[in-house]
Amino acid sequence: MEKELEPNQDRKIQNLRSAMWLSFTRIKKGTRAMCNFCKKDYAAIPGKNGTSTLKRHLDNCGKYQNTLADKKQKTLTRVEGGGKGKTADVVPTIYNYEVVRKTLIRMIVIDELPFSFVEGKGFREFMRNACSRFDIPSRRTVTRDVLQLYADEKAMLKSLFSTIKHRVSITTDTWTSIQNVNYMVITAHFIDVDWVLHKRILGFCVIPNHKGETIGKLIESCLLDWGIERVCTITVDNASENKSAIEYMKKKMSNWKADAMVLTGEFMHLRCCAHIINLIVKEGLKELDESIASIRNAVKYIRSSPSRLEKFKLYAKLEKIDCGRVVVMDVPTRWNSTYLMLETALIFQKAFERREDDDELYNSYFNESDSGRKREGPPNMVHWNKAKKFVRFLKTFYDVTLKFSATLSVTLNLYFNEICKILSLLNSMSGLGDLELATMATNMKRKFNKHWSSADQVNKLLIVSVVLDPRQKLDFVQFCFAAFYEPTKAEELGKDIKNLLVTLYDIYNAWSNNSGCSSSGTNGTQNSNIVQLSSQDVTFEVDPNDFLVSFRKLKERKLDIGA
């Protein structure tokens, strides 16, 4: 007869003798064993009950079996092809409960589904027919799994930050909701060891106020939490409080590491280019308030009910207008949506005019009061002509905003060309004989000069990124300077950028040597194929739409002459 053991001693020996105890937990002073999966319990008196009962239970426990990957039984599964037009591949896969469960959690996060989605009748019926072996978790289990997924992803990202040791660029934004709650989001942009651009949201939280020190403290705590020690730039909106936040970060990061900032944070503050363009365009919109308001009211009437929209489409067909596009309603606080509204409304101008002639309700709508004032409209020929001029003028700003707002590609090297394009456009429009356009362009140029009037107001790292683009280099920067400045000033600015580039090279070269990385320098030599340009070379007409195109034409001309 086997000797009776103490509970703790029994557990130690039993664990060594049988693997069953990896799936069971002793309860009731060790007299019963509870399954870790389905929570059923069996008698487990030491020296009396063996593990055969426990083994039979695991063989029939559905939840336990779901955790096992059947290495023998494989299923053919279709896998999406590598790109558009490629057929899906069929590969053998093995069912694994944990993998399916993690995939379900990722689906809920990616598709922004509610946690109660897993308890829906339709989803349960689908899973019962698609994969009956999968035990669908409850919404509370899904909640725990999502939090665990966040913890795992955060740990992985923190490990990446501690491994790559690259500089991280931070973007932050604050706003107030309709419930008067202040929110702040912090986003990190960085390049991994494979030179792949990444964008990750590091923080999304409530902030007490929009004061500079409060914003700075939240950014500081976020960087410390994620273990980020080296920052390149911090992009913020063009607000005075954000300037205070950057100064706070400079003061705190100066105590972190010697290389925590680039050149002691001289170029850390990066103003959001899209936000500055927004301010410039809004300045021009003031000249068209009446025209925009009248067209906006006309569009609002058309889209106020399905019957009015259908009747409007009938008018469009009578005017032989393609109804492939739809008149869109704008958001008054977003100028790009106002541009889209005007662009589509101009396509249907004749339909609006026909409706004004035939529909009495349409005309009476504009006689009604709007907040105690007569509603603007209907749009007349003066309003349409102003909108037509404005749309042609605004398209450049709309295209530039789309380029600056791209998130899946690098946009830094596009900055300088787009800014020069805008400045050239404003200069040419300011000198036109059309008084309305000239006034609008002059007001916008005044706002432009407030933020970008000189190279000293621009973060020079943005210009350095243009130099690092092998298609442009320093020649393109000097070409643009020569178009807007006196020869002496243009040459001086070109030397400043070159000196900054050399300084940055020395800093990164010293860092790479200390890190044991090899660097290949030019040893003072210069490629003989590079065409050197000076301000005197800018003698032909500059393309007002694209400086880069003009630069390439000039370079090709000089290469042909040299050949």
3-state secondary structure 244-277: HHHHHHHHHHCCCCCCCCHHHHCCCEEECHHHHH
Both 213 and 234 in one domain: the answer is yes
Q: List CB contacts of 556: < 8 A, sequence separation 6 or more.
A: none
Q: Does 312 reside within a domain?
A: no
Question: If DSSP codes are grouped into helix, strand and coil, which group holds residue 381?
Answer: helix
Given 271, 298, 320, the domain boundary residue is 271
Q: Does 179 reside within a domain?
A: yes
Both 117 and 175 in one domain: the answer is no
Q: Does 399 reside within a domain?
A: no
Asked if 10 and 30 touch (Cβ cutoff 8 Å), the reply is yes
Q: Does 546 reside within a domain?
A: yes
pLDDT for the residue 148: 92
Q: Do the bridges between strand 197-206 and strand 231-236 make them parallel or antiparallel, or are there none, so unpaired? A: unpaired
Given 210, 244, 271, the domain boundary residue is 271
Q: Does 309 reside within a domain?
A: no
pLDDT for the residue 541: 38
Closest CA to 69 of 108, 37, 97, 110: 97
Both 51 and 120 in one domain: the answer is no
Closest CA to 212 of 176, 179, 186, 174: 174
Both 246 and 126 in one domain: the answer is no
Separation of alpha carbons 227 and 220, rounded Å: 11
Closest CA to 313 of 300, 301, 324, 304: 324
Separation of alpha carbons 172 and 126, rounded Å: 42
Both 425 and 557 in one domain: the answer is yes
Both 413 and 548 in one domain: the answer is yes
Q: Is 161 exposed, middle or buried (0-12, 13-18, 19+ CB in 10 A)?
A: buried
Per-residue pLDDT of the chain (563 residues; tens, 9 = 90+): 334 444 444 444 444 456 677 788 888 877 888 888 888 888 888 777 778 888 888 888 877 777 665 556 666 666 665 555 555 566 666 777 888 889 999 999 999 999 999 999 999 999 888 887 788 888 899 999 999 999 998 898 888 888 777 788 898 988 888 888 899 999 998 888 888 888 889 989 899 988 888 999 999 999 988 888 888 889 888 778 888 888 889 888 888 877 888 888 888 888 888 888 888 888 877 777 788 888 888 888 888 888 888 888 888 888 888 777 778 888 777 778 888 888 888 888 888 888 888 877 888 887 777 666 777 778 888 888 888 888 877 888 888 888 887 777 777 777 778 888 888 888 877 777 677 778 888 888 888 887 776 666 678 888 888 888 887 788 888 888 887 778 888 888 888 888 888 888 888 787 767 655 544 444 443 333 333 333 333 333 334 456 677 777 766 665 555 54
The domain total for the chain is 4
Given 43, 66, 89, the domain boundary residue is 66
pLDDT for the residue 523: 41
Both 14 and 130 in one domain: the answer is no
Separation of alpha carbons 121 and 175, rounded Å: 39
Domain range enclosing 117: 75-142
Closest CA to 228 of 185, 137, 167: 167
Q: Does 232 reside within a domain?
A: yes
pLDDT for the residue 340: 86
Question: To 10 degrees, the CA torsion angle through 80, 82, 87, 89?
Answer: -60
Question: If DSSP codes are grouped into helix, strand and coil, which group holds residue 37?
Answer: coil
Which pTM does this prediction carry?
A: 0.69
Q: What is 171-225 written as a DSSP string?
A: EEEEEE-TTS-EEEEEEEEEE-TT--EEEEEEEEEE-S---HHHHHHHHHHHHHH
State both tokens at 376: 């603007």
Separation of alpha carbons 94 and 74, rounded Å: 5
Task: Please report, for the domain that includes residue 231, its CATH number.
Answer: 3.30.420
Q: Is 331 exposed, middle or buried (0-12, 13-18, 19+ CB in 10 A)?
A: exposed
- Encode 98-139 in three state secondary structure: HHHHHHHHHHHHHCCCCHHHHHCHHHHHHHHHHCCCCCCCCH
Both 31 and 81 in one domain: the answer is no
Question: To 10 degrees, the CA torsion angle through 482, 488, 493, 498?
Answer: 100
Both 448 and 540 in one domain: the answer is yes
pLDDT for the residue 108: 93
pLDDT for the residue 109: 92
Both 550 and 469 in one domain: the answer is yes
Q: Does 348 reside within a domain?
A: no
Asked if 204 and 141 touch (Cβ cutoff 8 Å), the reply is no
Contacts 24+ apart (CB under 8 A), 425-434: 425/393, 425/396, 425/544, 425/545, 428/544, 429/393, 434/389
The one-letter amino acid code at 410 reads V
Closest CA to 322 of 313, 333, 331, 334: 313
Both 531 and 419 in one domain: the answer is yes
Both 59 and 111 in one domain: the answer is no
Q: Does 542 reside within a domain?
A: yes
What pLDDT, in 10s, does the model give residues 498-535? 888 888 888 878 776 765 554 444 444 333 333 333 33
